[in-house]
Structure 1
């Protein structure tokens, strides 16, 4: 069960954020703020306390706070984001992490290792780590080394099509796994009860489980129905403006 979440308000500069889908247009900042408000309220409905950090105008992508830290029940790891324009975001996250974790339980990914939190999926005490354009093998190795100190384990997963591991995977606890794209046939995830997401709703692979409820992006009825069929209460949040920056529901918070 999660007790806390950390989020960061979107900056006005988000309209200049990194994107692989310029055809979707630039984000509407005022609408993004309203969607962020709704996101925070939905997290609270799941029974967590939400720490809201101020916007960082110097970093257009800084609302995607998941990428700059890994938070577990016992330790935190501040990452080294793979996109150089995001590296300074780790300075902004450090005080927030220090408010929740003792200094000896805070670790860092050091260069030449790179790691984005969007490439890290927690399944109990085991962590799957995507090797992507943002996360390299050295970064994954450092994370696994830190996790091992606390009796946790990890393994690297090669990506070929998606930006981040959690672009196409979401663990919903109870051995249930949302899976799309290249991971549907991956032998790595054979042991899970897979909920397969069709290509036309691929964005909705990025859902988040929070204390028994599952938050799903707005506009994906087949995904919503499939999750409800497994007995979960579904909460819907519109993330249209964050999708324009390759961002989804998990990207917008640290949950621990």
Structure 2
């Protein structure tokens, strides 16, 4: 018997599947760049606060249009970086690890996010070391990928494993432009990531190659426009519109990309993922 060349041969890869997400965000009501705690921040450069709000609101509406739930935390005066909600906690299966910021300029964000999580009914644990939330802790399948090198202390990784009861893979960041893990690596679904190899130490690169041999490798050109600071629901990837090559690579893998412009917020070193905390409720693994 002959087989038509147009018929599929052997098992075909499953199409990416979207899963509902519950996000926490903070409107950039008080957004400004008044200090420099990463290489992207320049207090002398002008910032259009109204444009930042409009770009952020487009991101929020994009999530809502995709069917996700978006809660809002009240922005507090004097905390211009509070918009970067990903740094407010790590939340897995109804358990939350609160944060401790490295820099004093952001310290008062921590109790605000902790209070929101408690009111929302999460089981909140206090950090013993510098720990900047989902900026440096990303869930992929049963693993927690944890960044260190610039912000979150390596010692915090052991506490994460104890609190969440999941294996923690420590990854060492070496390029100060990619100071949080979520600027150098994006989780696409429960087994697939995209990342910039040059942002990691040789040992961490070897670990990523071993764990994720089919990862999407980003270019520096896409990483510097925060292309990896993207948010995926397993099928749709909301990402900076400027990261064109990465978007094409993701579409080649079957993902649907949705470009947004957060160029104003990038002046403080943030993109879509920085603005988005995934609050995983009990019984929700994604």
- State the TM-score, normalized to the length of structure 2: 0.81
Is 1:222 equivalent to 2:236 in the alignment?
Answer: no
Is 1:187 equivalent to 2:206 in the alignment?
Answer: yes
What CA distance in whole angstroms lies between the structure 1 residues aligned with 2:162 and 2:170?
12
Deviation at 1:29, TM superposition (A): 0.3
Is 1:207 equivalent to 2:247 in the alignment?
Answer: no
Is 1:82 equivalent to 2:96 in the alignment?
Answer: no
Structure 1 spans left out of the alignment, 5+ residues: none
Provide the residue aligned with 2:29 in structure 1: 11
Equivalent of residue 52 in structure 1, options 72, 81, 92? 72
Structure 2 spans left out of the alignment, 5+ residues: 1-18, 281-286
Question: What are the Cα deviations for residues 4-27 of structure 1, in whole angstroms up to 9, with x where unaligned?
Answer: 110011133523254413469343
Change (3 A) 1:108 1:205: same
Change (3 A) 1:248 1:13: closer
Provide the residue aligned with 2:143 in structure 1: 126
More helix by share: 1
Q: Is the 8 A contact 1:17 1:61 kept in 2?
A: no
Equivalent of residue 137 in structure 1, options 139, 154, 168? 154
Provide the residue aligned with 1:158 in structure 2: 172
Question: What are the Cα deviations for residues 35-69 of structure 1, in whole angstroms up to 9, with x where unaligned?
Answer: 11101011112221111222212211111111120
Deviation at 1:183, TM superposition (A): 4.1
What CA distance in whole angstroms lies between the structure 1 residues aligned with 2:76 and 2:35?
12
What CA distance in whole angstroms lies between the structure 2 residues aligned with 1:14 and 1:139?
29
What CA distance in whole angstroms lies between the structure 1 residues aligned with 2:191 and 2:234?
15
Question: What are the Cα deviations for residues 56-100 of structure 1, in whole angstroms up to 9, with x where unaligned?
Answer: 122111111111200112311111112221111012112321233
Is 1:38 equivalent to 2:58 in the alignment?
Answer: yes
Change (3 A) 1:136 1:116: same
Q: Report SS of the residue matched to 1:134.
A: coil
Q: Is the 8 A contact 2:147 2:180 kept in 1?
A: yes
Structure number with greater Rg is 2
Q: Is the 8 A contact 1:204 1:217 kept in 2?
A: yes
Q: Is the 8 A contact 2:97 2:124 kept in 1?
A: yes
- State the TM-score, normalized to the length of structure 1: 0.90
Aligned length: 249
More strand by share: 1
